[in-house]
Amino acid sequence: MEWPDASHGVFAISVAAELAGLHPQTLRIYEREGLVEPARSAGGTRRYSGEDVERLRLIGSLTAAGLNVAGVRRVLVLQEELAELRATVARLEGELEFHRKARCPR
């Protein structure tokens, strides 16, 4: 789903839970387990972003597939590592292309 500002916390817990297809108490559990970290308003109210909702949907699908919290945590860590590795590969490919063009101009 496309979000106007995906990283900005705007959704209250009830709205985020509905968007993610989960119960609000489940969101509290996931926060306590460190799987999601919603922003907080000045008054301390949880504010979930579009990115948080997408993460909650992923967590929900993983638990529905039978993973426990530890398994979900591991999958999330591996996905973050994969994203970092892909970014590194893209950067290195760009540098390689730059050096190739510098050595052999057309």
Provide the 8-state DSSP code for 7: T
User: Residue 17: what pLDDT?
Assistant: 97
Token pair for 9: 């916390």
Residue % of the chain over a pLDDT of 70: 92
Q: What is the pLDDT of residue 102?
A: 86
For 45-57, what is each residue's pLDDT tens digit? Answer: 999 999 999 999 9
List of domains in the chain: 13-103 (1.10.1660.10)
Triad 43, 2, 23: Cα angle to 5°: 50
The reported pLDDT for the residue numbered 4 is: 62
What is the average pLDDT across 75-95?
Answer: 97
At 106, the pLDDT band (50, 70, 90 cuts) reads low
